[in-house]
Structure 1
Amino acid sequence: MIALLVCDDSMMARKQLIRSLPADWPVSITQATHGQEAMQAIRQGLGQVVLLDLTMPVMDGYEVLAALRTEGLAAKVVVVSGDVQEEAMRRVLELGALAFIKKPAEPDILRQTLERLNLLGQPAKPDDVPLRPAFELKVNFRDALREITNVAMGRAAALLAKVLGVFVELPVPSVNIFEVSELHMTLADAQRGERYSALCQGFIGDGIAGEALLLFHDSEIADIGRLFKWQPKDERDVSEMLLDLASILIGACLSGISEQIDVRFSQGHPQLLGLHSSIESLITVNKQRWRKTLAVEISYSLEGHDVHFDLLLLFTEDSIQRLTYKINYLMN
């Protein structure tokens, strides 16, 4: 019997991964929601084989791999992640992972990888395979949407990394339902006193609609220009550069979401909401269009550069029911 540890902060991701395991693989399964829990389980002998996510709170996958090496623990790790940057793959293999599988893991690819690494052993009879976790609790809507966004933002980061030649540091996305006044207060409090340039791009498809809002810190626009190998001469040049960056990030992120929930989004052209504005003025000008909204927030950072930008996906209140249906269908 093999002690298998599945480590991911998302219940949806763990559920999908456990469902994808070979049915004839005789494993006893332990679950961990972040790297610190994973390390405790491995020290107790519950992680001979580990399926490990990268982007997690408390202790991420990179830190787990580094800790395993430091402590000399013999766990055999396969990384299963939505961060599909080439540099992310290179780093985890360098840290000792045996393989990298992109989320969501396809059952055939998972089996082939386990076979290639000689981790499957002899197939077992059905009666000899322990029952898998039943997941009687429904996956929380916010957890599911956060995981779908996690996969989508990983694809957007991979494209951005390739275009700019950088490594993109990915956060755990946050999902909240806000009244416009709460959205205003949350953003204004987080970005107090800073000046921003902002763009938005509308999207709609199959009863789901919203706007993607991309915020750039004004203090970092010159650094963005250097990465693009572009020296904006005036406001028009700055606008054009930011529109190009918005097209990369928003387009790839929406494409990643649409593929997972099987919805084809029609996207408007990115529009500049304002250059060098305060958050307060941006929200005030646009409060009529945002009202009550489901907000998914992603904060990207570029390693080695003082560049950060915030992407908010603002779904209309009317979209929540349809999103819930699509996510439930995906899970069942």
Structure 2
Amino acid sequence: MSTRVLICDDSKLARKQLARVLPTDWDVEVEFAEHGQDALDILSSSAFDLLFLDLNMPVKDGYETLEALQSFEQAPAVIVVSGDVQPKAIQRVKDMGAIAFHKKPASSEELRSLLLSLGLMTDSDDKESKPTVAAPTAAEQFTLNDCLQEVSNIAMGRAASVLAEMLNVFIKLPVPTVNILEVGELQMALDYSVKDDSCSAVSQGFVGSGIAFETLLIFSDSSFPDMAKLLGVTEDITRELETELLMDVSSILVGPFMAAIGKQLNIDFSHSHPMLLGQHVKIADLINVKKATWKRTLAVEIVYEVENYQISCDLMLLFTEDSVPTLENLLSFLVEEDE
């Protein structure tokens, strides 16, 4: 009898990647859910044996889904598959009932080993059987935004894990947003994310394999006291100390993030030195500094928040318009590798 498997992830690319690496000798029927609420609706009307669950999703995230499943009379076994590899995230999902955690992107060998260790499949399964996967629809075609969002999601989790381990905190992670923005739209997006009247920002340029972009890390000025506390700074917070804190946190977040992006795209990016773009300024002032460069850009935005602390920072990747065709081509190869 086939094992019924539900893959829940808001990323079309992630759903496809996971379905592709399921063991070919595992007799399963696979269906998909686009977010936690979608999965709960499906599970309410039909029984499944196993749920592969992402964490960072809209509508209902993985944590909310796990909590809701605790009231189900016949809940499936849950394996969380996520780019959020913070030790505290892994422990939380296990405390909430998940039987295992697997980092994104999953490989066929690692996944097979995990399933065997959990007793969810055996080597005696029919070697000729193949997973039965729901046929793709037109909506399952991948766009540049879909692919870049998932690549950024994985990189976001790697960077958060480094910061979380260093500071012994839990980083709340969002779903990355990807949009092509005119400079006025970029200012509106930043105004919405940065709620304070003033902020400070660090920028850094990256280039490699025909792709050029800038990272922009924006801190709400209200974050500085708690940032100093977490980094063990006891002296008075001067402008010089603020600059040092900005550069330290920028290095911690941007370095691992770019390493993870480069690994997924198979690119070694060259980079400039980080630069203080503005200190205690309004978003409009930041935009004015770079208005000529940012006329039209492909923007990836991630808002990091530290749980139980008043710390929020907005990481943006701003790709030049000329880089978009090359990036689209590279990401299409990433999709084809899973065919």
Instruction: Please indicate the TM-score interval, normalised by the length of the shorter structure.
Output: over 0.9
Query: Does the CA contact (< 8 Å) of 1:3 and 1:45 recur in 2?
Result: no
Contact 2:196–2:222 under 8 Å retained in 1? no
1:272-311 counterparts in 2 under 5 A? 272-311=276-315
> Are 1:215 and 2:235 an aligned pair?
no
Could you tell me which residue of structure 2 aligns to residue 116 of structure 1? 117
Greater mean alpha carbon deviation, residues 259-268 or residues 132-141: 132-141
Q: Please tell me whether the aligned partners of residues 5 and 46 of structure 1 are also in contact (alpha carbons under 8 angstroms).
A: no
One of 182, 186, 191 as aligned partner of 1:188: 191
Number of equivalenced pairs: 331
> Structure 1 stretch 37-46 or stretch 138-147: which is displaced more?
37-46
- Specify the SS of the correspondent of 1:318: helix
- Give the superposition deviation at 1:190: 4.7
Identity of counterpart residues, as a percentage?
45
Q: SS of 2:37's equivalent? A: helix
Kindly indicate whether the alpha-carbon contact (under 8 Å) linking 1:220 and 1:307 is maintained by their aligned counterparts in 2: yes
Are 1:147 and 2:133 an aligned pair? no
Aligned to 1:47: 48
- Name the aligned partner's letter for residue 39 of structure 1: L
Match of 1:23 in 2: 24
The alignment partner of 2:121 has SS state of coil
* Structure 1 residues 61-72: aligned runs within 5 Å: 61-72=62-73
What is the deviation of 1:125?
4.5
2:175 equivalent to 1:172: yes
CA contact (8 A) 1:15 1:135 kept: no
Residue equivalent to 1:244: 248
- Offset at residue 46 of structure 1 (A): 4.0
CA distance in 2: counterparts of 1:167 and 1:158, whole angstroms? 9
CA separation of 1:78/1:238 partners in 2, compared to 1, >3 Å: closer, same or farther? same
Q: CA RMSD in A?
A: 1.5
Cα distance, 1:103 vs structure 2: 0.1
TM-aligned CA deviation for residue 252 of structure 1: 1.1
Aligned match of 1:255 in 259, 262, 265?
259
1:312 equivalent in structure 2: 316
Q: Following the alignment from structure 1 to structure 2, what is the Cα–Cα distance between the partners of residues 64 and 186?
A: 29
Give secondary structure in 2 for the equivalent of 1:144.
helix
1:7 aligns with 2:8: yes
Residue 235 in structure 1 maps to residue 239 in structure 2? yes
The answer as to whether partners of 1:86 and 1:158 remain within 8 angstroms in 2 is yes
Q: CA deviation at 1:188?
A: 3.1
Partners of 1:114 and 1:29 lie apart in 2 by: 15
Normalization by structure 1: what TM-score? Answer: 0.96
- Match of 1:322, SS? helix
SS in 2 for 1:146: helix
Instruction: Note closer, same or farther for the CA distance 1:30–1:251 as it changes in structure 2 (3 Å cut).
Output: same
Quick check: 2:194–2:314 contact (8 Å CA) kept in 1? no
| Displacement after TM superposition at 1:23 (Å) | 0.6
Runs of at least 4 residues off by over 4 Å: none
**Deviation digits for residues 247-274 of structure 1, max 9, x if unmatched?**
1111111111111111111121111011
Distance 2:236 2:325 in 1: 43
1:136, distance to aligned residue in structure 2 (A):
6.1
State how far apart, in whole Å, the 2-side matches of 1:101 and 1:189 are: 34
Q: In the alignment, does 2:78 pair up with 1:74?
A: no
1:190-244 CA-to-partner distances (Å, cap 9, x unmatched) read 5466100011011011001110001111112111110111145421111011101
- 5+ unaligned residues in a row in structure 2: which ranges? none
Give the residue type in structure 1 aligned to 2:126.
Answer: A
- Note the C-alpha offset of 1:131: 3.7
Aligned-partner Cα distance in 1 for 2:222–2:324: 35
Report Cα offsets for 1:162-208 as digits up to 9, x if no partner: 11111000000100001112212332355466100011011011001
